[in-house]
Amino acid sequence: MINPKLLEGISEQIGQLFEQTKQRSAEAELQPQINALLQGAFRRMELVTREEFDAQSAVLARTRIKLEQLQQQLEQLENSAKPDS
């Protein structure tokens, strides 16, 4: 969940940037400043890229398959180790 105080801070900073550019009429300056502000905020949120997410999902899927294989092997070993009654 996104921290509401973080969003309030970002909103306040963007508002300040708008006020500054109104005074200078320098719209070209505003875009890089907003981008830098948002990138900093996103870094603090510890977001991951889609590529990182997909890579970790693939690792998890392979790990799950390996776990299922190991569980089957363990069951087979347990069954073969049981004395016949």
Alpha helices per DSSP H over 1-85: 4-24, 27-44, 50-81
Q: What is the DSSP letter of 47?
A: -
Cα–Cα distance between 75 and 85 in angstroms, integer? Answer: 18
Give the residue, 25 or 60, on which the prediction is more confident. Answer: 60
42-85 pLDDT, tens digit per residue, is 778 878 889 999 999 999 999 999 999 999 999 999 999 887 65
Q: pTM of the prediction?
A: 0.50
Rg (CA), the chain: 27
Domain residue spans in the chain? 1-47, 48-85
